[in-house]
Amino acid sequence: MRRVCLASALLLAACDGGSEPDAGMPDAGGVDAGSIGETVDPSTLGLAPDPAGEWLAGDLHVHATDASNDTGGDSFPEDIKRVAMERGLYFVVLTDHSNSTGSDPSTQDEDPALFNMGPEFPYWDEAARLSEPGVFLMIDGNELSPIAAGDPPTTPTGHVGCVPADLATFDRASAIVDRPRGTQTGAQTLQQARDLGCFAILNHPWGAVWTSFDWTSFDYDAMEIWNGTAGFDEADASGLDAWRCDLLAGRAVTAVGASDNHRVNEPGPGDVLDPALGFPRTYVFAADRTWPAIVEGLRAGRTAIGEGGTELFLDTYAADGSRALAGVRHVRLRGRVSDDVRPSRLTLTRASACADRRAEDGSPPAITDEVLLERTLETGASFDLAIPVEGAPGVYTARIEGSRGHYGALSNAALLE
């Protein structure tokens, strides 16, 4: 089990158009938790400069017409590229259901003659053709989609997002085994993803029974803690707690958010059945604009999640101003709020303990945490704050929360030991 000291950054924003603040939000002046002192202007602290690289926006969970059986017929790869670039995305990963890509994507009927046939990556060459290095990247992956017995099934198995890590060595010839129903556990599915060469993501680990994970394995690389559908909701909050629990347990798990888009022309932010492309999106800090650099950022947990232009990033510094993960003196929060939202609430939280029963009964973990900073942000605001924390151990994350689950943000996490 590896110790992880820098976890993924996540942006969770929740807002809609309008001007009235949400009920229950702090006053416009905000509230700073007295236990950590007042916020500080970062320009007065002599902080080290940012490392070389940039935050690149992408969508890691997108479905394409003629490769998935429920896209509505308007989501061919060329359409996905057009809309992605219009919305400021640099990369998109196609993750069509394994039970469709290897059989007949035009029907949801399950024909045993078509089970486990492949090919599972039908748009591999098309994605490469549409990619323009330095401008836009499209990667053809898969969403491994086994299902338990029964109609409807009454027990989870899980959906695993397969993001091809090394495009030169990735196994795109083997078929994925996902049928008959009831033959594959979550653990077996994760192992298949690893054998192919996937960066393996637990997609929407809580939600409908037939898409939730069974927690028979913790051998995943990342967790989708914000899935497009209804905006950031209770199921996503359970994923957020599970991710923080994994970090506290020493698991190097990256947090991601993705749209799960099926109809690419849906305007943002979409709705429960039709999430919009890029709502939410994952930001990855990469040394350059190549796919290997993006994968390196994903593996290192340098990620953030957000919607509609809301962004939030967290850095930690020692007393001498150097970047640090031990002996931390200050947490720095930087970001902006979408112009399309109401006044929003910014919080900085430290999680210190976790009661975890996932492997026993599948229930979400219970996190022990405390809010260190709480402040109201006005529509369209940008901010840069330093908060003294004196290195107290725990998992630090920050969140921008608006209304009704959209246009918010959660930062990368730092695990201080």
The one-letter amino acid code at 203 reads N
Residue that the structure tokens 């200050």 belong to: 330
In a domain, 121, yes or no: yes
In a domain, 292, yes or no: yes
Q: What is the CATH number of the domain that holds 334?
A: 3.20.20.140
Contact 120, 164 (CB under 8 A): no
In a domain, 74, yes or no: yes
Q: HEC profile for the chain?
A: CCCCCEEEECCCEECCCCCCCCCCCCCCCCEECHHHCCCECHHHCCCCCCCCCEEEEEEEEECCECCECCCCCCCCHHHHHHHHHHCCCCEEEECCEHHHHCCCCCCCCCCHHHCCCCCCCCCHHHHHHHCECCCEEEEECEEECCCCCECCECCCECEEEEEECCCCCCCCCCCCCCCCCCCCCHHHHHHHHHHHCEEEEEECCCCCHHHCECCCCCCCCEEEEEECCCCCCHHHHHHHHHHHHHHHCCCCCEEEEECCECCCCCCCCECCCCECCCCCEEEEEECCCCHHHHHHHHHCCCEEEECCCCEEEEEEEECCCCECCCCEEEEEEEEECCCCCCCEEEEEEEEEEEECCHHHHCCCCEEEEEEEEEEEECCCCEEEEEEECCCCCEEEEEEEECCCCCEEEECEEEEEC
Looking at the whole model, is its pTM more than 0.95? no
Sort strands 254-258 and 222-227 into parallel, antiparallel or unpaired: parallel
Mean pLDDT by 10 residues, the chain (417 residues): 34 31 31 54 96 98 95 95 98 97 90 93 98 98 97 95 98 96 98 98 96 98 95 95 98 98 96 94 98 98 96 97 94 94 92 98 97 93 94 95 86 94
Give the pLDDT score at 267.
96
In a domain, 1, yes or no: no
In a domain, 56, yes or no: yes
If one counts the domains in the chain, the total is 1
Residue 208 CB-density burial (10 A; 0-12 exposed, 13-18 middle, 19+ buried): exposed
In a domain, 16, yes or no: yes
Give the pLDDT score at 128.
98
Residue 184 corresponds to which tokens in the numbers above? 């594959």
In a domain, 106, yes or no: yes
In a domain, 126, yes or no: yes
List the domain range (segments joined by +) for residue 216: 6-416
Give the pLDDT score at 37.
54
Residues whose CB falls within 8 Å of the CB of residue 401, separated by 6 or more in sequence, listed in order: 12, 13, 14, 344, 345, 346, 347, 408
Q: Tell me how far apart the alpha carbons of residues 79 and 99 are, in angstroms, rounded to a whole number.
A: 23
